[in-house]
Amino acid sequence: MYNSVQLKVIHEKKVIGEMIALYCRKKHGTGKNLCAECAELYAYAQDKIDRCRFIEKKTFCSACTVHCYSPDMRTRVKTVMRFSGPRMFLYHPVLVVKHILVTLKMRKRYD
């Protein structure tokens, strides 16, 4: 059985993966597979999530006090999130609601 931190890591990876996949499909015209550029970004994001020292207390990476992404990758992930974020509710409504609930739960726990 997973503990709450492990579930949060799994959820964070799922959310960023779906956002990158949506961006890649719409901007790069890919099908189910990511293009090389988006696959690289996803692998980088997964690594950063795995290594995050603040995963227990943070809600979103953008709200974190430490920005661990390199400037280039931070720019790339911001571009993906700006595009995919508003569209996620149309393509993955359950994931969006779950993400909101997890965020609220984590805020409540550490406030």
- Domains in the chain: boundaries: 4-110
22-33 pLDDT tens trace: 999 999 998 889
R_g (Cα) of the chain, nearest Å = 14
The residue written with tokens 């090389």 in the block is 36
pLDDT of residue 1: 67
Burial class (CB in 10 A: 0-12, 13-18, 19+), 38: buried
- HSE-up (13 A, CA, CB side) for residue 73: 16
Q: 4 pLDDT band (50/70/90 cuts)?
A: confident
pLDDT of residue 34: 96
Distance CA 87, CA 85 (A): 5
Global confidence as pTM: 0.87
